Amino acid sequence: MQKLKYMFIHLISIAAFFTLCIITPSLVAYFFLLLLLVRIVIFLIPSNGERIRFRTESKRALLVIDLQEGLCGQRGSYSNKEPFLKAVNDTIEKARADGDMVIYVRQVFSSLDNIFGCLAMGGRLSGWDHGSDFVAGLNIISDNQFIKHQQDAFSCKALSRLLADSEINTLTIVGLDASSCVYKTAISALRRGYIVNLNSKALLSKSKSVMNKMLDTFRQKGMYVY
């Protein structure tokens, strides 16, 4: 039922947006389309930021990306979720045992961004929908929880400050989607000078072929995949 709801909102939002563009004067329609294009670009592009200081001592953090009801919950849009969630929880337990910082990041479209959230994902990650909540069964062991509004987790300034203040220089990233939010976050981490590790069993994508392609891409970019 939830999947049908999101699909309905998605289709209605797209139809309403393009109907609005058709019935309004051309200049207004172009303005709306330009706003949408700019929002898409901001949403997709990995960020740049200040490079971290070189440190001989390894200080590690685990980033858990987008483990949310609307994505990998019972009514989420991804299949094969149970082994993935177990692998994520196992990775969290290992990080706890090793004394590593554990950080959770969610994608949430704010009230001012709900139109784009409905156009892009049918409202499944909008702040008013439970789909933006952490997925049931996720092992949450810390209060280091952040909200991002773009695919790249480093777009959240509070997260960047926490990592810098904690002198973290090595990141392990788990979550979804390997080809979007995980990838953009990993690229942004590399640009800032972090060592990036990825647990292949604790990553999720829409298909095995996409996953295999992304694992190759991660390796080619200089990240360690295990």
pLDDT at residue 1, as a whole number: 56
Name residues whose C-beta falls within 8 Å of residue 7's C-beta, 6 or more positions apart in sequence: 122
For the full predicted model, state whether its pTM sits above 0.75: yes
Mean pLDDT, the chain cut into blocks of 10 residues (226 residues total): 61 74 84 84 90 86 95 80 94 97 93 70 66 91 96 96 96 97 98 97 94 97 96
Concatenate the DSSP letters of all residues of 65-96 into one string. E--BHHHHSTTSS-SSHHHHHHHHHHHHHHHH
Question: How many structural domains does the chain have?
Answer: 1
Task: State the Cα torsion 178-180-183-186 to the nearest 10°.
Answer: -120
pLDDT at residue 57, as a whole number: 85
Q: Are 204 and 177 in contact (CB under 8 A)?
A: yes
Parent domain of 62: 2-225
pLDDT at residue 64, as a whole number: 99
What is d(CA 137, CA 86) in angstroms, rounded to the nearest whole number?
9
CATH label of the domain that carries residue 134? 3.40.50.850
